[in-house]
Amino acid sequence: MPPDNPTSDPERPLFGTMRRFLPYLWPKDAPGLRVRIVIAMLLVVASKLVQVYGAPFALQGAIDRMASGPRDAVMLVTLLVVGYAAARLGTTVFDNLRNAVFERVGQDATRRLAADVFRHLHSLSLRFHLERRTGAVTKVVERGTKSIDTMLYFLLFNIAPTILELSLVLGIFYARFSGWLVVATLAMVVIYIAFTRWVTDWRAKLRQQMNDLDTGAVAHAVDSLLNFETVKYFNAEKREAKRYEDAVTAYAKAATVSENSLAWLNIGQSLITNAMLAAGMALVVFGWARGEFTPGDVVLVSTLLAQLFRPLDLLGMVYRTIRQGVIDMGQMFDLIDTDAEVKDVAHAKPLAVAKGHVRFEGVHFAYDPEREILKGIDLDIPAGATVAVVGPSGAGKSTLARILYRFYDLTGGRVTIDGQDISQVTQSSLRAAIGIVPQDTVLFNDTVGYNIAYGREGATPEEVADAARGAAIAGFIQSLPEGFDTRVGERGLKLSGGEKQRVAIARTLVKNPPILILDEATSALDSRTEADIQATLEAIEQGRTTIVIAHRLSTVVHADRIIVLEAGRVAEQGTHAQLLRKRGLYAEMWARQAQEREEGELAEG
């Protein structure tokens, strides 16, 4: 059930939101579900017909027979009473059959919509996921999907049947009694709805205020207890207790007003309905006094109005729930309406990698228009070569990897692979041709085998085992009690940094891409682990076009060519020996890092 208080979102149109949802409720490719909807609605109609025409009229007939008929009509009266009970039972049976028939429809609609939202979220660009909190996004999806079932239930099985029942009751009142009873009933319903909406909106504001005060009181209590030592340092125990007591007192006052408002809502609703009940029955009593109606007619009017009041009693909750549901579903549809920043061009073709020759040609790029990151980068990475990219922090090294993966579109220039502009090929084929071993390896909370096999869908156990051997982690896995079935924990936290990196290497080996990116793959490791993994990385570079993005220069001395970036431009390039001889930025960085290593070794000694 949605929360009692409304969100701060603006009002969203009910019919516009529901119109977006109708294709999921009435799917074109699922005729069986459509049949279920039709059957469910027929059961709704049957339930209301039995409820309106069965039970009240059977009870009326029994009362009339008992009031005026001979006592030997006991069998007929008994049959009418049994019919009354049977009609009530029939209403319950029809309602529950309706729920059973419709349940699959609601669940399938929820499944389709949730799957579409999840699929769309994965199609959105990296910028969206970096700028939005994952918890907030998943909460929007969770609230939106949960609201679907509630919305459908209230709209289809509460509001619609109530409208049908009201129509049937008004028809009976007009045919058997008078137009005044019809007018009075309609007036009662309008006044009841208007009063309920007004009080519900008022209560929602009170509830929001109460929740805000509750949140503030809890937040203050937690903050005060977390800073226990500071409170002691400044002898502020009484001050903190007074502040907390003031916060709790304000909450208590707001809670009292909120709960009292519920009493006023219930009293007002009861006043309206019972006034109508009294007026309706009095009208029939006056008619009975003139000989126009029977005693059973009084019971008929009473029963019909009492049955009509029952769903109206839930109107406040229904109104509040539907309004909240519209907001929750609207927020989820907003996610669906979010456009992907990076899209495949029309008629994009799959990337065909023959050699793996990568070129950056006059590349300009900025995350924000005011601050350009790459300022005309020209790089030529021959097929099968290992090219390292180094430079100070903020020079744009990792941005090159994101651009090659086409997580962002360029603001100028182009990137080609074997002469094909990556902006003109499908993103799926581009990313299938590139493998990466990142600095911070994040693993799924699953088994070691699952994380390695994730590199390529359909990878066989033999291929996973071969990749583990290639990443020099097979021995470690075999030493585990459950082997490849060992779970790695949330984000792989049950493994050490070096073990996680080897799993990442094995995952990339399973993918077996022609182009490989090593993005600071060893910078977060200690020196001994870094040396071990560095040897493994150099082994898997063989036969692939490899781009090594590194901070520690000692890890790239073997590269065929080293590119030095500074402030978004290529400052120097050449082999390790050539760059040292130039005595430029690279030589300066090398000397500084060599000095840091010596100081670290002296400190350890």
Q: Which of 3-12, 143-152, 172-181 has the lowest mean pLDDT?
A: 3-12
Residue 413: the pLDDT is: 92
CA angle 101-106-110, nearest 5°?
A: 155
**What is the spatial distance between Cα 17 and Cα 333, in angstroms, rounded to a whole number?**
8
- The tens digit of pLDDT for each residue in 82-121 reads 988 998 899 899 989 988 998 888 888 888 888 888 888 8
Q: What is the mean pLDDT of residues 169-187?
A: 90
Residue 97: its pLDDT value, please? 93
- Confidence band of 602 (pLDDT split at 50, 70, 90): low
> What pLDDT shows up at residue 416?
94
Per-residue pLDDT at 362 = 92
How many residues are present in the chain?
605
The pLDDT value recorded for residue 526 is 63
Q: Report residue 463: phi and psi, to 5°.
A: -65, -35
Structure letter (DSSP) for residue 370: T
Q: Mean pLDDT across the stretch 214-220?
A: 78
Least confident among 167-181, 385-399, 488-502: 488-502
Could you tell me what percentage of the chain is helix, strand and coil, using 3-state DSSP and rounding each to the nearest 5? 65, 10, 25
Q: Which of 399-413, 495-509, 588-602 has the lowest mean pLDDT?
A: 588-602
Read off the pLDDT of residues 193-203 as tens digits, 9 standing for 90 and up: 888 888 888 87
Q: What is the pLDDT of residue 156?
A: 81
Q: What span, in angstroms and rounded, lies between the C-alpha atoms of 344 and 406?
A: 10
pLDDT (0 to 100) of residue 7: 42
Encode pLDDT of 26-48 as tens digits: 888 888 888 998 999 999 999 99
Percent of the chain with pLDDT over 70: 93
**Residue 389 pLDDT:** 92
Taking only the tens place, the pLDDT of each residue in 128-142 is 776 666 666 777 777
Summary mean pLDDT of the chain? 84
Please, what is the angle between helix 160-176 and helix 31-49, to 10°? 30
pLDDT at 361 over 90: yes
**Pairing of the two strands 515-519 and 412-417:** unpaired
Residue 382 to residue 380: CA distance in whole angstroms:
6
Residue 258 is encoded by which pair of tokens? 């909120």
3-state SS of 400-431 is HHHHHCCCCCCCEEEEEECCEEHHHECHHHHH
pTM over 0.75: no
Pairing mode of beta strands 434-437, 420-421: unpaired
What mean pLDDT do residues 484-498 have?
83
Report how far Cα 585 is from the mean position of its chain's Cα atoms. 47
Q: Looking at residues 551-566, what average pLDDT do you find?
A: 88
pLDDT of 3 reads 36
How far is the C-alpha of 392 from the C-alpha of 590, rounded, in Å? 12
CB-CB neighbours of 225 under 10 Å: 11
For residue 342, pLDDT over 80 is answered with yes
pLDDT surpasses 50 at 71: yes
Average pLDDT of the segment spanning 332-350: 85
Q: Which residues pair with 574 in a beta bridge?
A: 562
Count the neighbouring beta carbons within 10 Å of the beta carbon of residue 414. Answer: 14
d(CA 201, CA 332): 24
pLDDT score, position 524: 57
* 2, pLDDT greater than 60: no
Whether pLDDT at 502 is above 70: yes
Using DSSP's 3-state secondary structure scheme, residue 561 falls into strand
Per-residue pLDDT, 289: 86
Position 433 confidence tier, pLDDT thresholds 50, 70, 90: very high
Work out the number of other CB atoms within 10 angstroms of the CB of residue 570. Answer: 19
Write out 1-65 in H/E/C secondary structure.
CCCCCCCCCCCCCHHHHHHHHHHHHCCCCCHHHHHHHHHHHHHHHHHHHHHHHHHHHHHHHHHHH
**Which pLDDT score, from 0 to 100, does residue 4 have?**
41
Q: pLDDT band at residue 8, thresholds of 50, 70 and 90?
A: very low
Inform me whether the pLDDT recorded for 17 exceeds 50: yes
Strand order in the sheet with 386-390: 434-437, 515-519, 545-549, 386-390, 561-566, 569-574
In 3D, which of 388, 383, 384, 492 has the Cα closest to residue 444? Answer: 492
Cα 17 from Cα 324, distance rounded (Å): 12
**For the sheet containing 374-381, what is the strand order?**
374-381, 358-365, 412-417, 420-421
Residue 127 pLDDT exceeds 80: no
Provide, rounded to the nearest whole percent, the portion of the chain with pLDDT above 90: 20
